[in-house]
Structure 1
Amino acid sequence: MAEQVRVDVWVWAVRMFKTRSQATAAVKAGHIRVDGERAKPATQVRVGSRVEVRGGERLRVLEARQLLLKRVGAPLAQAAYTDHSPPPPPKEMASPFGIRDRGAGRPTKRDRRQLDRLRGRVSR
């Protein structure tokens, strides 16, 4: 068994990213830190390393318990790390965004333009 593994390989192997190229792109973009330091794709992860993955709206804080070189099944992947992530915000905190009342019918042209403006899309 290897004593250290590249961070992009490890986060892909424990299923934080669907493809290895997505994991490498996330590392290059600065979304992954190893032991508090910004990581490069070749940064080494050791057993006990703390890996922070910022993907989407949530921060995942993982402690490496096992080093993996290949992608494995979900139960084995979850056994390879200890999750120290803060709990996700409750769904009540998320505001309903552009939701219409049930039975309100199809939106008018004016309603659609207002929804597009709300979502940040430019209307002609």
Structure 2
Amino acid sequence: MDNVRIDKWLWAARFFKTRSLATDAVDNGKVRLGGERIKPARAVKAGDLLAIDNGAENWEVAVIGISDKRGAAPVARLLYAETEASIARRANEAEGRKLYREPGSMIKGRPSKHDRRALSKASE
């Protein structure tokens, strides 16, 4: 297999839970190939450098394997290699989230009056 659509590859590499989420991310410019916006039908090949924003984290990866089948996570991990800068940045962001939690991160659903007052007090 020489080439696969970028949205299929992102789904197979487990950056997105569904292929439609991967397609939407590519359409909205959340996935870039060499700094350029791409279309979901763009073929990905080994050696491509991708910048991926999947909502939770930002990744910078080099494609080392091609697959259009979604498999187990250890198998999906073999499809890409994360850059050293990306690893350091994600670790730094995780440490920052551990030290400073967002005020509204513990609230589930619509905040109550009490929750809203606590949020506004925390943002002052």
Deviation per CA, 1:51-72: give whole Å up to 9, x if none: 1101225210111111001111
Do 1:98 and 1:118's aligned partners in 2 also have CA atoms closer than 8 Å?
no
* Gap regions ≥5 residues in structure 2: 105-111
Determine whether 1:97 maps to 2:102: yes
1-structure distance, mates of 2:51, 2:39 = 13
Q: TM-score, normalised by structure 2?
A: 0.75
Relative distance call for 1:90 and 1:7 in structure 2 (3 A) is: closer
Task: Quickly say closer, same or farther: Cα 1:5–1:90, change in 2 above 3 A.
Answer: closer
Change (3 A) 1:76 1:57: closer
CA distance in 2, matches of 1:3, 1:52: 21
Aligned pairs (5 A) from 1:4-19 = 4-19=3-18
TM-score, normalised via structure 1 length: 0.75
What RMSD in Å do the two structures reach over aligned CA positions? 2.5
Structure number with larger C-alpha Rg: 1
Could you list the structure 1 runs, at least 4 aligned residues long, displaced by more than 6 angstroms after superposition.
none
Work out whether residues 34 and 45 of structure 1, in 8 Å CA contact, stay in contact via their aligned partners in 2.
Answer: no
Instruction: Provide the C-alpha distance between the structure 1 equivalents of 2:122 and 2:25, rounded to a whole number of angstroms.
Output: 25
Tell me the distance in 2 between the aligned counterparts of 1:41 and 1:26: 9
User: What percentage of residue pairs aligned between the two structures are identical?
Assistant: 33
Answer yes or no: is 1:33 the counterpart of 2:32: yes
Matching residue of 1:106? none
Aligned residues: 110
Unaligned runs of 5+ in 1: 100-108
Q: What CA distance in whole angstroms lies between the structure 1 residues aligned with 2:38 and 2:121? A: 36
Q: Tell me, in whole angstroms, the C-alpha distance in 2 between the residues paired with 1:118 and 1:38.
A: 40
TM superposition shift of 1:90: 5.0
Between the aligned partners of 2:8 and 2:116, the Cα distance in structure 1 is: 44
Contact 2:27 2:40 (C-alpha < 8 Å) held by counterparts: yes
More helix by share: 2
Q: Distance between the aligned counterparts of 2:41 and 2:69, measured in 1?
A: 16
